[in-house]
Chains A and B, each alone.
Chain A
Amino acid sequence: MAVGRVSGVAVAGIYACVPAQVVDNASMTALASPAELQKVIKGIGIERRRVVSEGQCTSDLAQVAAEQLLADLGWPSESVNLIVFVSQTGDYRLPATACVLQERLGLSKGCAAFDLNLGCSGYVYGLWVASQLLNSLGGARALLLVGDTSTSLLAPEDRSVQFLFGDAATATALERRSDAGETTFVLGTDGSGASHLIVPGGGARNKLDNQSLSRQPGRDGHPRAAVNLFMDGPQVFNFTLREVPGLISALLAEAKWSMEQVDKFVFHQANGYLLDYLRKRTKIPAEQMVLALKDYGNTSSASIPLAIADRLAGDFAAGPTRLLLAGFGVGWSWAAAAITIAQGTPTRVIEAPPSAVPRVA
């Protein structure tokens, strides 16, 4: 596995933004009987999810989180020199959503901006890339904007994904601070799993055509179109068991942390069953494991910072917090970080009203 180390860059704040619209899984009786729904809810540990309204994009949620975070930190817009936008649901095929957000956030033209196309592992990747680049920019500040509106990719009758995914975006402020300690990263990839979690259509490989929107039963029997998300749950589960326990032990070894020195473990919030099994398998005490998926579902790249914002404000207020972050999934791609968050670092969840941001184009 690849190992990265970054020193002298601190997380100054982590804000999450979720859409106001709540969908209760128990209400989804068009897709399953009430008894089946109860079984699914118990199995995946997800009771409700936040879902965007028509016209609301990942960038809109990211903008709300970023504006509030900049205001609360008192950071003038010209002090930000880097925007990294991590998502698989950008506004356009091109240009990069980071460029669009530079203008919408009123940031200066002296700002580097680009997108990263990653999902479950994307937050940790974004932290690694943005921190490392900040060190080469000299005295700068960065905004790491990470999120997805995966519900826009789901076929309406696909029971293999409909109860699982929610929408959210997050903003993490990073800045150079000489007293910031070292963050250790471990990253890995196995592209042989690409076909198990994929939106196959609409890209350059399978171009949009007049069949792209037509929904046909897939090999699991659920109807979906080429532009919809396909997920093979058992393959995802197998991949996770194969790679994640080793990822955690490798990171602890590289960071020279013991399990007991970690205050909180924040894993990609894939589903409750998987996280519970993984926790037992890696012998993480239940009270150290952060879970926020009951109310939000699996929010793809946003799930780690959203879980932090939803659950760890009290920890951050109380003292420095040692976090072990681990993202794993679509790719297959995985990345973990051992990071210490300074006392008093602000973190919160904001709700975006349906039409908070006008559509741009």
Chain B
Amino acid sequence: MRKILEWQIATLTRVKAETPTVKTLTFSLPSWVPHFPGQHYDIRLTAPDGYQTERSYSIASEPERGGEIDLTVERLEDGEVSPYLDDVLMVGDQIELRGPIGGYFVWEAQMGEPLLLVGGGSGVVPLMSMVRHWAAAGSKVPVLLLYSVRSPEEVIYSDELNHLCEMRDGLRIFYTFTRQTPPGWTGYQRRIDAQMLHEVVSQISKPFRVYICGPTLLVETAANHLVQLGIAAENIRTERFGPTGPSL
């Protein structure tokens, strides 16, 4: 039976700081339905004079966690909505949400094939929903996450990702730091390019699915290089975040 998509009033129950500029907000939903990893919710804010604005945020949590969702939000200094979510919204406050939305950029463990996830900055958020679902479902598919980030402090979900790598077989993470590396770092330290993708792709058995998410330039570059490496375009799904983050 299908439900019509409607706005519902959700309550903020938890806030977790992931990095100096990124927070995860946990909302409990009166009409929660399980989502597919990769989907998003729209939020709508209304000022007393009736002015409204909407934004879309990818769901960070796995569908196995019922009744609530995590949205991970990056604070954009000249943003209209993210400073409100960061500074004003408090545990106990309510917000209008609509979702889950999206059918194109979704992954489910039952799809079966090896997975390449390519994320830039806050683009890792929907990919994290996929990784958490992969873990919760006890999936055996190999997952490789290529995560581009400016500096070690800006890695979102750092502890959890390390923990998952240690505790579970089949998850590998390649970080590439574009501005500042951790001390003693011997891994990638540049923007994602053809050579890097070639090396990463050679470690995954084909055919595999690719999900790329992040700033438009990173997504375009990665998608084009993968096509040139012979990956079929229909196996590549992209989610562009626009020039300044998930303003969608």
Chains A and B come from one and the same complex: no
Q: Footprint of B on A, CB under 8 Å?
A: none
Q: Footprint of A on B, CB under 8 Å?
A: none
